[in-house]
Structure 1
Amino acid sequence: MTLYYTLVFMLLMAEMSLFVVLIVPLPFNLKRKIFTFLSENPIVAKIQYGMKITFIFILILFIDSVNRVYRVQIELGLSSENGANGAAIIGRDRLEVQARKFYSQRNMYLCGFTLFLSLILNRTYTMILEVLRLEEKMKKYEGTEKDTKQSEKLTQAGDFAEIGKLKKELAKKDRDIETLKKQASGLQREYDDLCEKYGATQAPAGPKKTQ
């Protein structure tokens, strides 16, 4: 295996390990910290940009390996057609073509699985971020709902207290009105008594006698 295909194989192993890490169940707070770090760290963003360029080269290798498999398949077809006329092709040359076909298919599968797993990792990473955002929004919504219910309870308690206060003030006003009525009745009786006494002192004088 050449150096660049060895690097592709190492990248495939790294992708498989990363995929296992992504699907491992972790606590919500720990997972949120990890994915927040991965999504906001500038160094990770540069690494992702470099990996995109790397996958472009892997795509080129994949296309080249597919082309090689196609050409080797054509050579095998030609060797099968010429097998009756040339026994030398059936021997060592055919084994060489079979070996080149095996290596070309191996490289094609290696690059293809690496590219396919990169797409799965990207989609899985995006979906996990969306799930974390939704869970965080849900927690905030639940907290807001609890605060709203608590504030409603406090408002109702405040309304009850206000109603009790108003009832006390109304009862006090009623007592004041009754007191004023009693005072007015007392003043009316005193006024009537004074009027009677004044009328008694102001009796009219009788007619004078004539001589």
Structure 2
Amino acid sequence: MTLYYTLVFMLLVAEMTIFMLLIVPLPFTIRRRMFTFISENPVIAKLQYGLKITFIFILILFIDSVNRVYRVQVELAAATDNGKGSGTAAIMGHERLEVQARKFYSQRNMYLCGFTLFLSLILNRTYIMILEVLRLEEKIKQYEGTDKNTKQAEKLAMAGEPGEISRLKKELAKKDQDLENLKKQASGLHREYDSLTEKYAQTQEDGTPKKMK
């Protein structure tokens, strides 16, 4: 195996290891810290950029290996047809073994590059899905009040009870009391208005105003 295909194989093994680490069940806090570190670390960002360039070269190697497999297949088929037409085997001994070896190496390189590219797509999609799941879990914890930041905010609110929050509650209670007083005054005025309306109606019916007490 040549040097660049050896590097491709090492990259494939690294991808398999990373994939196993991604699917290992971990506590929510540890998983969130790990993915936060991966997302915000500038060194890992540069490494990801370098891997994108590397995958472009692997794609070129994959296309070349597919081309080699096709050419070996065509060569082997042509040699087999020539052997049948002449009545003798056109490829014998070490020549046939050489063609079979070239076919095997070409197919091996094609599978190696193909699986490396395919696993890179799976890793990228898995990483995005895990980030989305972590974001949704964090939102759920905030809504349920089980998140650490939410608990801290509640503690701060409780600690500030005698201060600003207490003053606001007193103002709210005062407004409620004023509103209740206004309702009572409005009710009294409404009853007085009804009483005056009835007395006025009686004076109109009798034709003479009555002495009002």
Classify the TM-score, shorter chain: 0.5 to 0.7
| C-alpha displacement of 1:127 | 0.4
Map of 1:48 onto structure 2: 48
- Indicate conservation of the 8 Å contact 2:35/2:131, yes or no: yes
Q: Supply the distance in 2 between the matched residues of 1:126 and 1:88 (Cα, whole angstroms).
A: 54
Which whole-Å CA distance do the structure 2 matches of 1:87 and 1:140 have between them? 76
Give identity over the alignment, percent: 75
1:4 corresponds in structure 2 to 4
Query: For residues 8-157 of structure 1, what are the structure 2 equivalents within 5 Å?
Result: 8-84=8-84, 85=86, 86-143=88-145
One-letter amino acid of the counterpart of residue 130, structure 2 = I
> Are the counterparts in 2 of residues 79 and 90 from structure 1 also a CA contact under 8 Å?
no
2:70 and 2:14 map into 1 onto residues whose CA distance is: 29
Worse-matched range after superposition: 4-13 or 85-94: 85-94
Which one-letter code corresponds to 1:129 in the other structure? Answer: L
Unaligned runs of 5+ in 1: 152-157, 171-211
Q: 1:181 is matched with which residue?
A: none
What is the CA deviation profile of residues 5-64 of structure 1, one whole-angstrom value per residue up to 9, with x for unaligned ones? 000000000000000000000000000000000001111000000000000000000000
Give the match's secondary structure for 2:118: helix
Query: 1:116 & 1:89 partners in 2: Cα distance?
Result: 36
Runs of 4+ in 1 over 2 A off after TM superposition: 84-88, 144-147
Hey, what's the Cα distance between the residues in 1 that align with 2:11 and 2:5? Answer: 10
> Residues 59 and 115 of structure 1 are in contact (CA less than 8 Å); yes or no, is this contact kept in structure 2?
yes
**SS of alignment partner, residue 65 of structure 2:** helix
Distance (Å, rounded) in 2 between the aligned partners of 1:87 and 1:117 = 42
CA contact (8 A) 1:8 1:110 kept: yes
Give the TM-score, by structure 1 length.
0.68
Letter in 1 for 2:131: L
Letter in 2 for 1:80: T
Supply the AA of the counterpart residue of 2:78: L
Q: Could you tell me how far apart the structure 2 residues matched to 1:114 and 1:88 are?
A: 37
Paired residues in the alignment total 157
| Residues 80 and 89 in structure 2, CA contact (< 8 A), matched pair in contact too | no
In the TM superposition, what is the alpha-carbon distance from 1:117 to its structure 2 partner?
A: 0.2
Distance 1:43 1:114 in 2: 23
TM-superposed CA distance for 1:88, in Å, is 4.8
Letter in 1 for 2:75: E
